[in-house]
Chain A
Amino acid sequence: MAKTFSKGGVHPPENKLSANSAIQIVPPTNVVSIPVSQHMGAPSSVIVKKNDQVKVGQLIAQSAGFVSANIHSSVSGVVQKINTIIDTSGYKRKAVIIKVEGDEWMENIDRSAQIIRNFTMSSEEIIKRINEFGIVGLGGATFPSHVKLSIPKGKVAKVLVINGVECEPYLTADHRLMLEKGEEILIGIEIQMKAINVSRAIIGIENNKPDAIAHLTKLASSFKGIEIVGLKVKYPQGGEKQLIKAVMNREVPSGGLPIDVGAVVHNVGTAFAVYEAVQKNKPLFERVVTVTGKSLSKPSNFMARIGVPISNLIEAAGGLPEDTGKVISGGPMMGKSLNSLEVPMAKGVSGVLIMPDNESSRRRQAACIRCAKCVSVCPMGLEPYILMTLAEREMWEREENERIMDCIECGSCSFVCPSNRALLDYIRLGKGAVGKIMRARKA
């Protein structure tokens, strides 16, 4: 039987509509807005001024601390202004607005298609490069990659786990990347293995992508220490704790990190970005994004520059359908619906999903009938109905005892609830409040 994680999980309809459409390049628009907080951690500090000339790949905002990331220009042109705009987070945040002129890249970026296999950098140099080139986790959480690769004192990394699961329905960005940039990804993995000094890497891929498994298995024969594991299709296998359980059969302790069981988890997209940064001198300013939806005429995968408005990508995929109910950044399970189509592309946007009206609106919430379906699907072994009630009543201390901070916000509980209860909404609220209390206690 195929491997998977043990606790809970659901299997929503896969709907991988864009699985067969190759990655296309979308040209940048006339004006792009590059948000300064595209990653987890402190927002970067802007280092360009109005009317400054910038080139593609030029640093425009500097990392503001260890858990933060550099941001590079995705276009060449003139800085129009530094303004606040609504970004994918749903809030007004600072962004650098650039008027595009031509497409002039920084001289040191290698734009040839040639694949470079050998690298000579040491572990420290690789981590420094990843930090400088603004690479963050491209699975969606956008956690700065250099932080994950810097192993804390007293811990030893044994395995690099690579996430090619893509368990979110609809999304195919990682799938296409594995098919089209397989060798680059494997080199990126090799580089990361060197960075954390391990000799073994495992790529976990769900069995609904047999072509990707076959392709990478064939390529991996010429790489030492990289193995590919096919996994049973189950959501949320792409959560790092679930993936570790599936491929290594180890359980990350409550409140712990993957490194506690000797694992470091990265996404295939991140591995590709690492390859480009180290071998091609290319900072992270574009990424693969799936633009999909049942009513969309051309569900596609695009290589899109950061800062391009989402509306532009939808246009390239055939235009906004008439029955649109919600436009979601990310997948249907964990994604966040956007409050404007002019929201710019960011490092964490793995997909743009257009949901028809009849599927996207919430159904009326009824009382909890204690069926415990949410308990049986929770991959972290929590009791979502209790967490929701406690959050409604603002009982934060009990909330903490019920291990609310272990919640990975996968949304499986809300997905199965027959009473359509807004479980995750309240749990997220509780996590915010409890997290604040815990940080205050530490300080």
Chain B
Amino acid sequence: MTELQIIIATIVSVSAIGILAASILYAAAQKFKVFEDPRIDEVEDALPSANCGGCGYPGCRNYAEMCVKADTLDDLYCPVGGNDLTATIAKILGKDAIAKAPKVAVLRCAGSPEHRASINVYDGAENCKVASALYSGSTGCEFGCLGLGDCVVACDFDAIAINKETGLPEIIDEKCTGCNACVKACPKLILELRKKAKKDRKIFVSCINKEKGGVAKKSCAVACIGCKKCQKVCPFDAIVVENFLAYIDYDKCKLCRKCVDVCPTNAIAEINFPPKKKKPVVAKEVAKPKVVAKKSVDKTNPTDESK
């Protein structure tokens, strides 16, 4: 055989093998084809791709599959995308969308060093879970925030940062998607998801100390002492006091702020409210200290206050 013949023979035989292999692969692909609803891809494209797990499913793809599979979208909610996203998904799938109240995380502890004196120094690993498995904490309050930042690490949206002055985490409302990751990460169960109200206004008991009033007050100046004053003053029955601790039901609360005024320890936080109207008689003398007092209550969220 000449050299040319060898080259031609090689090209022909390799091409033949290639065509044969391709046709086998094509036949196999047709035979074992898995049908996947094209709408899954469509829904997935609409999702924020945060893969945060806030919806309760392992990732955005999984959530998309569930949306397509489910009969209604009632139990499916992507906290990152919110109601707009639910509407988009509903349009793609031709299902009904039910609007849900968006939520935002709040920190139920206001125990900064000025309110809650440190009685020992923690020297272990910088991790809230390690510290809480070791002892009751570096202050007298065994319920309060340890400030070691497990929630900061858990947050996929950079919505939490530790404030160096107060030693407590701060939640940036605009960034918080309400995905629940920080709530799950906190070993002390201090963070809570609460319904987002108009203009990001919030009223909540910023304490989870379940000890008797005297003990709680001794360990932290802004602890809830379970005096039930707020419960009595609330016109909407939104406040329950259990185990010496008040809790405000965000579904019932109408943000009237009556409880804030009666709380003897300033344990109820009011955030993003305009300053209250002063009584005209002693306006000038009272005005200054009142502003100061409000600042200390507001410190859970100074970024919003500055707006």
A residues apposed to B, CB below 8 Å: 86, 89-92, 326, 336-337, 339-340, 360-362, 365, 392, 422, 425-426, 428-429, 432
Contact = CB atoms under 8 A, between A and B. Distances in A.
Main secondary structure of the interface of B (DSSP, over half): loop
Given A339-B119, A340-B119, A429-B129, A90 B124 contact: no
Given A339-B119, A362-B124, A422-B125, A429 B136 contact: no
Interface residues of B, number: 14
Given A91-B142, A426-B130, A362 B136 contact: no
Contacts of B134: 90, 336, 425, 428
A91 B131 CA distance: 12
A429 B120 contact: no
Interface in B116-166: 119-120, 123-125, 127, 129-130, 133-136, 138, 142
Contact of B135 (A339, A362, A425): A339
Contacts of B133: 428-429, 432
16 contacts: A91-B135, A91-B136, A91-B142, A92-B142, A336-B134, A339-B135, A360-B123, A362-B124, A365-B125, A422-B124, A422-B130, A425-B127, A425-B130, A428-B130, A428-B133, A429-B129
A86 B135 CA distance: 9
Given A91-B136, A362-B123, A426-B127, 7 more contacts: A90-B134, A90-B135, A326-B123, A337-B123, A340-B119, A361-B123, A422-B130
Nearest to A93: B136
B120 A426 contact: no
Nearest to B135: A90
Nearest to A339: B120
A14 B120 CA distance: 28
A425 B125 contact: yes
A365 B125 CA distance: 9
A349 B278 CA distance: 60
A413 to B, nearest CB: 14
B136 to A, nearest CB: 5
A217 B138 CA distance: 48
Nearest to A326: B123
A340 B120 contact: yes
Contacts of B123: 326, 337, 360-362
A428 B119 CA distance: 24
B243 to A, nearest CB: 14
